[in-house]
Chains A and B, each alone.
Chain A
Amino acid sequence: MSGLSVIVKTVARIVAGFIFLYGGYIIVHGHLTPGGGFAGGVIVAASFILLVLAFGAAEIKEKTSYIVSSIFESLGGVMFLLVALLGLFSGVFFFTNVLPKGTPLKVLSAGIIPLCNIAIGIKVGAGLLSIFLALAASHYILKE
C-alpha cells in the first residue's frame, strides 16, 4: 500500500489527533457514560490505522512501531492483572474494589473501575494496532 493523495494526507494528519483524543475520552469516562475500555481502545487504534492507511505502510519501515505496539499490548494486560491482584494483596478477594468509591458522576470515582478501563484500553488499542500492522503492513515492516 502506497500513500494516498495530498488531500487525504493533510486531512488525516489533522483529524488523527482528535480521534485519539476522543478514544481517550471514551476510555477515561467509561464508568460514567456509554463506552469503556474496549470501545475507546478500538477508537485509539483507529487513529493510528488512519495514519498508516493515509501515508502508506511503506512509511513505517522500521520495525519499532510493530514491536512497541506489541509491548504496549502486554503492558496493558499486566496492568489489568495487577489491578485485579490489588484486591487479593489487600486481604480480600481477587478483583475486589478496594480503592475509595468517591462521589458518583465524578471522573475520579468508582475505585478500580477507571484503572481497569485504562488497562483494557491500552491492551485493546495496542493489540488491534499490532494485528493490523501484522496483516496489512508486515510485508514492509519485516522485510530485512
Chain B
Amino acid sequence: MVELYLLSIAMLAAAIVAIEIKDLLASAVAMGIVGFSVSIMFILVQAPDLAIVQIVVEVMTVIFFAAVILRTTHTDTTIGKGIKTESIFPVVTFFIFGTLFIVLAIYALKDLPVFGSPVMKVANYYIENGLNHTGAANIIAAIILDYRGYDTFGEAVVLFTSVLGVLSIMRMKGKK
C-alpha cells in the first residue's frame, strides 16, 4: 500500500499549492490533482464505480472553475497580506476545533478493523443475497438503489437544492 501513501503526499502538496499560489487557474489545476489522486486511489483499492464517478466529477469541477475564472479574474489578491486583526478569532476557533476533531478522530478510529480486513456483517448479507433479492448484477447499483434507496433520494434532493441555489443567485445577477 505504498502507492496510497505516495498519492497522499502528492495530494497534500497539491492542496498546499492550491491555497498558496497566486494564479487562480493554476490553483484550480492543483485542486484537480487532488481529485484525480483520489480517483487513482479508488482504482488501486478496486472500487471502479467510485473511480468513474470521481473522475467525471473532477473533470467537471475543473471545467467549472476554469470557465468561471476565465470570465472573472486570474489573480488571487488575498495572498501575502498576512492575517488581519478581525480574522484572528476565526483562525483561533479553527485551530481549537481542528485539534479537538483530530484528537477525537484518533481516539475513535483506533477501534476500526485493519485496512483490507473489514468485519463485514451487513456487507456479507448484501453480497450473498443482493443478486437474488434485486436481480442487479452490479452489487453497487443493488445497494444504492434498492437497499439504500432513501439515501440516494436524499442525494438527489441535495443536488436539486444546489441547482436551485445557483440558478436563483445567478438569475438575480443576470436580471440586474
- Residues of A in contact with B (beta carbons under 8 Å apart): 1, 26, 30-36, 38-39, 42-43, 45-46, 49, 53, 70, 73-74, 77, 80-81, 84, 94-95, 97, 101-105, 109-113, 116-117, 120, 123-124, 127-128, 130-132, 134-136, 138-139, 141-144
What's the least CB distance linking A122 to chain B, in Å? 11
The interface residues of chain A lying within 8 Å CB-to-CB of B56 are 39, 42-43, 46
A1 touches B156 (CB 8 A): no
Residue contact B67 to A31, C-beta cutoff 8 Å:
no
Q: List 22 A-B contacts (CB under 8 A).
A: A1-B67, A31-B142, A45-B60, A73-B160, A94-B150, A95-B146, A95-B150, A101-B134, A102-B135, A110-B136, A110-B141, A112-B145, A113-B136, A113-B145, A116-B152, A117-B145, A123-B159, A123-B160, A131-B163, A135-B170, A136-B68, A142-B170
B84 touches A (CB below 8 Å)? no
Q: How far is the CA of A74 from the CA of B140 in the complex (A)?
A: 25
A-chain residues with CB within 8 Å of residue B81 when the two chains form the complex: none
Supply 18 further A-B pairs (C-beta < 8 A) apart from A46-B59, A128-B60, A130-B167. A1-B70, A31-B141, A33-B138, A34-B138, A45-B60, A70-B167, A84-B153, A94-B150, A97-B133, A104-B137, A116-B145, A120-B152, A123-B156, A127-B162, A131-B64, A134-B166, A135-B166, A136-B68
Question: What number of A-B contacts does a CB cutoff of 8 Å give?
Answer: 153
Please give me the residue from chain B that is nearest to A34 by CB atom: B48
Contact call A39/B160, Cβ cutoff below 8 A: no
Which A residues are CB-close (under 8 A) to B146?
Answer: 95, 97, 113
Contact indicator B71/A127 (Cβ below 8 Å): no
The chain A residue sitting closest to B173, CB to CB, is A138
Q: Does B23 contact A (CB under 8 A)?
A: no
A contact residues around B98 at 8 Å (CB): none
Q: Which residue of B lies closest to A137 (CB)?
A: B67
B159's partner among A31, A70, A94, A124 (CB-CB below 8 A) is A124
CA distance A30 to B142 in the complex (A): 10
**Smallest distance from the beta carbon of A50 to chain B beta carbons, Å?**
9
Among B59, B63, B133, B170, chain A packs the most CB atoms within 10 A around the CB of B170
Q: Is the pair B52, A143 in contact by a Cβ cutoff of 8 Å?
A: no
Asked whether, in the complex, the Cβ of B163 is within 8 Å of the Cβ of A101, the reply is no
Q: Is B123 an interface residue (CB 8 A)?
A: no
Within 8 A of A (CB), among B48-83: 48-49, 51-53, 56-57, 59-60, 63-64, 67-68, 70-71
